[in-house]
Structure 1
């Protein structure tokens, strides 16, 4: 339930932020000044170019409204799609109203947008032409106002659709997963699984023990059973998607202890050797040789200690710990790739899910090394099937053409793979379907 508060404001100049298209969002737990979010030089140049020209009417969506009031629950992708045929072409949308926009990242519920068509061009205004309403600043006299908390700027897309893939999912190579520290035992010997607030013991490799020291990570994600991701074309293993089970905090690092002390045995010097009996032909030992020798110390490893702070599933011995990545701000500024991209769907996310629909996540066989970036918009193609031409007496096999099927937005690229959200779709997506650069308006 949203709460309200009252306040008395002095005379203020209130800047009116309007629909821009700086389509950005961050992890829900974080806050960042929108003014600090970047606008690329290319995006600004495009906006400046269209600011004085508007956009051609052919770029508008078929049913673009003459006016629209931003509502709670809207997304920037959805609003952009109301006005333009291609929602990712936000610099044009921003440029239509460049003079009225001082902070292009803040678009709030309640703001009104007006679309004007003049001489074959389209312009987005903050107010109707000739109505005398200010487009940038209004003056507010002192009065009591009521603000609704929680009505922040609009996100690019619904955050809950991708949040689990930002905070939980991980794609790693096989070596990295195998070298990760592993749970070896539980503090409570009466249990075989651990969950939140339980304690467990962890070991790293001999050449990479899990230590606690300044500068080293103490927060970890816990994963299990990495599943190989295979390229549907080359059958190459692109990486391994690990199953997220929870989070743990490092309490104590690994160490060593003397094995005899650990087992409770005495570490006293060994008794001196017996003297030879009379008549024994063995020569007497020298004084140095009769001195007792210190036994060789044998060290035993002591596992690190971790406390489980969050669990999606109960953890067990064999689960792996990977350091928590830094919580960075992720921007989703939709844009077409600058280089040709020819990707394939590797996996549809979900248990026993074969097809993906709108607002579902898929994994692609292209990543950072292929030039894929956060915010890339790709056109989905349904792969044409092969069939026998029964109208031909030779019964020749033919390949049907690929058909445009929708759009997907890349929101988390890895080195060789990427997560993408299906934004628009006309028929279900499956493994092997293509993703290429979007074309046209």
Structure 2
């Protein structure tokens, strides 16, 4: 009887650790009321030591409308099912309103996964293409009367445009070139900087277009690409990469030169061709120093210290061979060339 009691006590204590390696934050709450300004990552960190295990503990309630979305005022409950931790959602009283037909609908915006103000400018302007994709795109050959294009309603002329390409286009200029190893190696992509948008007035050689918006002057040689229909969704789950041995490198620090930190954007040399998906979480690792051993007594003896984890990056935008991520946590400065791998 005593042995059986010990077994069940052990089961209850160890249950959370057996749940696919899910470990709860030691200071986790039993319930949490979501507030405006929260992100899904913030909430995951309140309950879990490893926020990327969120999909393993999140319970989708089919009786709730849009159960994958979380709104300010909602209540998250930590419960146990068969000894395993589960997070359940109940809508807050401020998040529902009743109509005569008893319909329930959210009245405020759902919380995003990451702080959107940190990445919004990059979502609008960044598009990574191959050199071939960019060089084969239609291009600006001249402005009206050969004048420089500066704003909306200006007309300009484009070569290489076909009628089947559509009517609405964005204009891009070749920007940062991404190399496989950051400062060397094969070209893995070219960042196309958004210049503005335009629509076709007349097809031909050249075609005539009119500017609809611009954030800088348009130059001869700027390229045109059809407006992308897909929009970035701020609602996705953080998760560990499915591939166990996935490893890459930070090849660019956005708006930084040598080092960066929390809530800053980085580019890694892994993309959809490597199986990367939006929501993947990478650990950032820095190589250990090689130090001289002054104690061993051996001549010129040295030892390489182990790699140390410096932070975590959450991928929010994926291209063929590179991805953009935001540094969610940094225990120390993140450097260009740091290694990224499974967290």
TM norm structure 1: 0.63
Matched with 1:157 is 114
> Does the alignment pair 1:63 with 2:11?
no
Change (3 A) 1:61 1:199: same
Change (3 A) 1:396 1:241: farther
**Per-residue deviation, 1:101:** 5.5
* Preserved contact between residue 182 and residue 203 of structure 1 (Cα < 8 Å): yes
Tell me which of 187, 194, 197 is aligned to 1:247: 197
**Per-residue deviation, 1:319:** 1.4
Matched with 1:362 is 266
Tell me which of 198, 216, 233 is aligned to 2:154: 198
Q: For the residues of structure 1 that align with 2:97 and 2:237, how far apart are their CA atoms?
A: 33
Counterparts in 2 of 1:30-429, with a 5 A limit?
Answer: 55-56=16-17, 59-95=23-59, 103-115=66-78, 122=85, 124=87, 151-189=108-146, 191-204=147-160, 210-212=161-163, 215-232=164-181, 235-255=185-205, 303-328=206-231, 330=233, 332-339=236-243, 340-350=245-255, 353-389=257-293, 394-396=299-301, 398-429=303-334
Unaligned runs of 5+ in 1: 1-52, 128-137, 205-209, 256-302
- Name the SS of the counterpart of 2:133 in structure 1: helix
**Per-residue deviation, 1:148:** 9.5
1:373-395 deviation digits (Å, cap 9, x = unpaired): 12111111123344555666633
1:56-111 deviation digits (Å, cap 9, x = unpaired): 5972112212332111111111111111112121233324x858766421322112
- Name the SS of the counterpart of 2:329 in structure 1: strand
Q: For the residues of structure 2 that align with 1:221 and 1:126, how far apart are their CA atoms?
A: 41
1:286-313 deviation digits (Å, cap 9, x = unpaired): xxxxxxxxxxxxxxxxx21121222122
* Preserved contact between residue 260 and residue 334 of structure 2 (Cα < 8 Å): yes
- Name the SS of the counterpart of 1:89 in structure 2: helix
**Per-residue deviation, 1:118:** 9.8
1:294-343 deviation digits (Å, cap 9, x = unpaired): xxxxxxxxx21121222122111121112222224545221111112101
Matched with 2:337 is 432
Unaligned runs of 5+ in 2: 1-13, 91-95
**Per-residue deviation, 1:224:** 1.7
- Name the SS of the counterpart of 1:369 in structure 2: helix
Matched with 1:26 is none
Matched with 1:17 is none
Q: For the residues of structure 1 that align with 2:316 and 2:70, how far apart are their CA atoms?
A: 21
Q: For the residues of structure 2 that align with 1:174 and 1:92, how far apart are their CA atoms?
A: 40
- Name the SS of the counterpart of 1:165 in structure 2: helix
- Name the SS of the counterpart of 2:52 in structure 1: coil
Q: For the residues of structure 2 that align with 1:322 and 1:140, how far apart are their CA atoms?
A: 45
Asked which structure has the greater RCO (Cα within 8 Å, sep 6+), the reply is: 1
1:343-374 deviation digits (Å, cap 9, x = unpaired): 10010112x53222111111111111111112
Number of paired residues?
316
Change (3 A) 1:245 1:396: farther
1:211-254 deviation digits (Å, cap 9, x = unpaired): 23xx4222222122333211227622112112222222222222
* Preserved contact between residue 288 and residue 307 of structure 2 (Cα < 8 Å): yes
* Preserved contact between residue 165 and residue 226 of structure 2 (Cα < 8 Å): no
* Preserved contact between residue 199 and residue 306 of structure 1 (Cα < 8 Å): yes
